[in-house]
Structures are given as structure tokens and as C-alpha cells.
Amino acid sequence: MMSNVLTLIRKKENNCALSGVVNSLDAECKNCSPISPLQCINRCQVYKLKNELRGLGQAMANPHYIRDLFNALKNEKRLQILKTIENNRFSVEQLQREIIKTQQKHGKIAINEEYLRLLLAVGLVSEVREEYCASSFGIRLTERLGCFPDFVDDLPARSEGHEEALLQFLISGPKTFEELEGAIEPSVVSRTLKRLRRNGLVKSSKEKDYVFFFKTIRDPDKEILTINERKVHSAVFCDGISAGELSKRLRISKRLIYRYLKRLRGKKLVFARRTSRTYRLTCKGKSLALVLQNIQRLVEDAWASSQQVIQGTDKFSAKSSGLSRNPFLH
């Protein structure tokens, strides 16, 4: 029972979600016979993990939790601190000495207030008697994700999370500007796209909004067509073609192609449809989007585990506090 809970977590890391780890610890807890309740509180690692998950569940009840988590990670110094305290517990003074070894000098107040405070707020770090160590959630996050530099280099340090939301939205494939407006606040789509394109994470289709021409079901034999009009009509694909592509295929100037298409439209043999410019992820953008998606899944797993602990020990409290709504999964 007194085994190190971090060892249990790492042992099951590749085989089990954190909720599964909680189940395993529950089974171990049932077989434990502590000398006194005080021994459970002071020495039991299972108790400490469950207590940590309760606090994490409260932090995640914040509807802006994902945004705050990403902002906490998008800082090279915070990531260095998180990695430093992954396996050890340090006071601010001890942590200061560890940071100095890497030739990065930070004052005691700066480390305590600017860096540790934000890591504590999102549940990546735990504090006991003024000593700090990475939480079980923080350990899982640092061990499983190896692309942290991308946060620092390619995403704004302090943001509302619009860039992260668009990157994840684009994983499923190219989207039009109008579709992107449905994913985040419409007024910031242009500005967000500009930043993502500047950092090489998103690219757009080569052409702006352009017009494709399609055949109608009307029989062309019922109309009087010139040779070139018939050529143009025959060259129009079922799934559409642009005037520029018709010009290349038929070796007719674009000016004449538009003239013939205008006549064919007048005879209701073809119709035009405007196709919007689309935006898609670059290879670099897709890699970062998958990292963000992985973090999202870790958060979902941690949320489920925290609710498992909360509802298993105090169902009334969990229900009345509204934590079961899981605000960031919508």
C-alpha cells in the first residue's frame, strides 16, 4: 500500500488510462489495513493521488480551463520548471539552484509568482509544505508529449485559444472561411488565420473564390450550337471545371471560352457555381494539431478520473457543484 503511486502510474502508462489507474488503486486500497486513519492521510500515496484528482476536477470546472492550460504550456521557462520537478520535490530556493545550473537566472519571486502559480492553477504542479513537484497529470503530460517547443515557437504566448481551436478543427480536412467562422468567434477568424499562415501552420488554396461550370440535364442536341460551343459543352466535366482549365484543354483563349460559356448558359446547357477558397493544415500544422488533440484527450481522461473519485466519495457534492457538466468537452 505504501508503494510509490508514481511507479504505478508509469507502469500502466502505455496500457491504461488514468481512470484505469484509479480503479487499480481502489482495488489496492480495499486490501489495505492501516494502523490508523492518520496513517492513510499522511503516508498513503493512493490517498494523495485521489486528493490531487479532486483538486484537479475543481480546476477543470473552469470553462476556460483548456485555454489556461495551453497558455501555461506556451512558455519555455514553465516547461523547464515542469521537467525539473517531474521526479523530485523542490522548494523555491532549491528550484532556483536547479534553474541556475542551466544558466537561466530567475529570482525567487519571479519563479514563485509568475511560473509556479500558473502551473498550480491548471493542476500540473502540486504543493506540499512549500515544496513543489509535478502532479500525476503533469507527469503524464510531460512524458507522453514530445513536441512542447512547438507551443513556444509557433503559438502566441497569451491568447484566447483561437489558434489552438482552429488547428484542431482543421484536422478533419480543408474548410472554407465560412466554416471556420462557425468554429471560433467570426470577428477574429481573419486575424487568427493570418498568424497561423505566417508561422507555416495553415495554407490556403492557390486561387481565391473562383467559379466552376457544370452541365445541366438539358439535351444539347435540341439546341443549335456552333462547333466551338459543342466542344466547350463536351469538355465540361460532371463535377465541374473552371474557365481557365477549359482554356488549357481546348487551347482556346479564355476570352472566347467565357463568350461560349455565356451562350451555353443562355441556352440553359451549363450553369455556374462559385467555389470558396479553402484552408488546410501544412505538415507542420498537422503535427502540432495532433499534439493539441493529444493534450485534449489527456484532459478528458483526467476529467473522467477526477469525477470518478469525486462521485465515488461524495456524490451529492459532485452533483451540486455542477462538475459533471464537463464544460470543455462541448
Do 76 and 25 belong to one domain? yes
52 belongs to a structural domain: yes
Q: What is the pLDDT of residue 84?
A: 84
Mean pLDDT of 149-177: 85
Q: State the virtual CA torsion across 145, 148, 154, 156 in degrees, nearest 10.
A: 110
170 belongs to a structural domain: no
Pick the more confident residue, 284 or 53.
284
Do 253 and 309 belong to one domain? no
Do 135 and 238 belong to one domain? no
Do 121 and 240 belong to one domain? no
126 belongs to a structural domain: yes
| Lowest-pLDDT range of 49-53, 61-65, 230-234 | 49-53
192 belongs to a structural domain: no
Half-sphere exposure of 163 (CA within 13 A, CB side): 24
Do 102 and 72 belong to one domain? yes
Contact assessment for residue 71 and residue 121, using Cβ atoms and an 8 Å cutoff: no
Contact assessment for residue 142 and residue 82, using Cβ atoms and an 8 Å cutoff: yes
190 belongs to a structural domain: no
Amino acid letter, 320: S
Q: What's the CA angle centered on 223, arms 221 and 229, to 5 degrees? A: 90
d(CA 107, CA 93): 9
Do 54 and 148 belong to one domain? yes
Mean pLDDT of 297-305: 84
Do 106 and 134 belong to one domain? yes
Do 271 and 308 belong to one domain? no
Domain that holds residue 299: 5-156+291-329
Q: What is the pLDDT of residue 321?
A: 38
Closest CA to 241 of 260, 219, 221: 260
193 belongs to a structural domain: no
Mean pLDDT of 268-274: 90
Do 9 and 86 belong to one domain? yes
Do 268 and 308 belong to one domain? no
Give the global pTM: 0.65
16 belongs to a structural domain: yes
Contact assessment for residue 131 and residue 91, using Cβ atoms and an 8 Å cutoff: yes
Do 254 and 302 belong to one domain? no
- Residue corresponding to grid cell 514553465: 78
Q: State the virtual CA torsion across 133, 136, 141, 143 in degrees, nearest 10.
A: 80
164 belongs to a structural domain: no
Q: Binning pLDDT at 50, 70 and 90, where does residue 314 land?
A: very low
Domain count, the chain: 2
Do 62 and 152 belong to one domain? yes
